[in-house]
Amino acid sequence: EHLLNISGVSASADEKPILHGVDLAIDAGECHVLMGPNGAGKSTLGHVIMGDPVYRTTSGTIGFDGADLTDASPDKRSLAGIFLSYQAPVEIPGVPLYSFLRTICQKRPELKMTAKQFRRRVGELCEQLDMDSSYLTRELNVGFSGGEKKKVEMLQLLLLQPKLAILDETDSGLDVDALSVVSRGITAYREQCGGALLIITHNTRILERVDVDRTHVMVRGHLVAEGGPELIGQIDTNGFERYEAAEAKLE
Ligand code: ADP
Ligand code: MG
Ligand code: MG
């Protein structure tokens, strides 16, 4: 039984088909990487797994941890243990980061903590992520730099301890500090929670310190190749050309 079992999933937005018959399975604790040229549908797949209502799943099924979540709300998927870090994290004016984190934890019975335990846990995580505790009183993501937003994401990830984390990395502009935050967060997540990962990225530097089990390549909404971690290096060197040619033959 796979933790995540995506079978034959096609999806569209605004009646425009984006994903075509995607099959992808992730076992508990595994680390998978999804690569592909810009516009291939990688972020769409992340959003479809999370149940973002912007996208309509037109066929196929999404199973998670023994349940069929194909038609479940994002909230239900989140409670089931799926976490998605958005390519562009939302800013929520008026809501301090600390209150936001407390609220999301309180929604989960399995993360029940007293106010004091919560404060201690957040303090530990801030230290681990080299995050100044003054962030906690600031409004969520408002005016945060890219690196600071990444720290907030990693803080959420480590607090929530999901069974599957989907990390959708920005195509551009993670500075060295932000890269190091992400790879530290990923390592801590794997060590502390033993959770599975789907990392969507162009930036193979993030992957240098991560043990990857499987790599998937998406072109124009089709998964056209799957392999081990060696695919990452090959793509780094040769780009997506041969995968685009393979996809063209599908049509
Ligand atoms: P990637 O993450 O691989 O760069 P995306 O999933 O963001 O690709 O986008 C895949 C394709 O779907 C693109 O052509 C994009 O314009 C289109 N698309 C994504 N989201 C929407 C949407 N909400 N409405 C219409 N088209 C969309
Ligand atoms: Mg993109
Ligand atoms: Mg994307």
Please give the ipTM for the structure prediction. 0.97
One-letter amino acid of 139: E
Dist. CA 6 → ligand 1 center (Å): 19
Please, which residues have CB within 8 angstroms of residue 242's CB and are 6 or more apart in sequence?
none
Cβ of 11 less than 6 Å from ligand 1: no
Return the pLDDT at 172: 58
Q: Tokens at residue 116, please?
A: 């004091």
Q: Which of 16, 172, 235 to mutate to test the pocket of ligand 1 (most atoms within 8 A of CB)?
A: 16
Computed over every residue of the chain, the mean pLDDT equals: 90
Predicted structure pTM score: 0.93
Cβ of 116 less than 6 Å from ligand 1: no
Residue 75: is its pLDDT beyond 80?
A: yes
The number of the ligand 1 atom at minimal distance from the alpha carbon of 44 is 6
**Contact (CB, 8 A) for 190 and 214:** no
Q: Which of 18, 220, 222, 240 to mutate to test the pocket of ligand 1 (most atoms within 8 A of CB)?
A: 18
Percent of the chain with pLDDT over 70: 96
pLDDT tens-digit series, residues 1-34 = 899 999 999 999 999 999 999 999 999 999 999 9
First-to-last C-alpha distance (Å) of the chain: 32
The number of the ligand 1 atom at minimal distance from the alpha carbon of 47 is 6
**Residues lining ligand 3 (ion), CB within 5 A?**
42-43
Q: What b/e readout covers 66-83, taking b as 16+ CB neighbours within 10 angstroms?
A: eeebbebeeeebbebbbb
Cβ of 44 less than 6 Å from ligand 1: yes
Mind listing the domains of the chain with CATH numbers?
Answer: 4-250 (3.40.50.300)
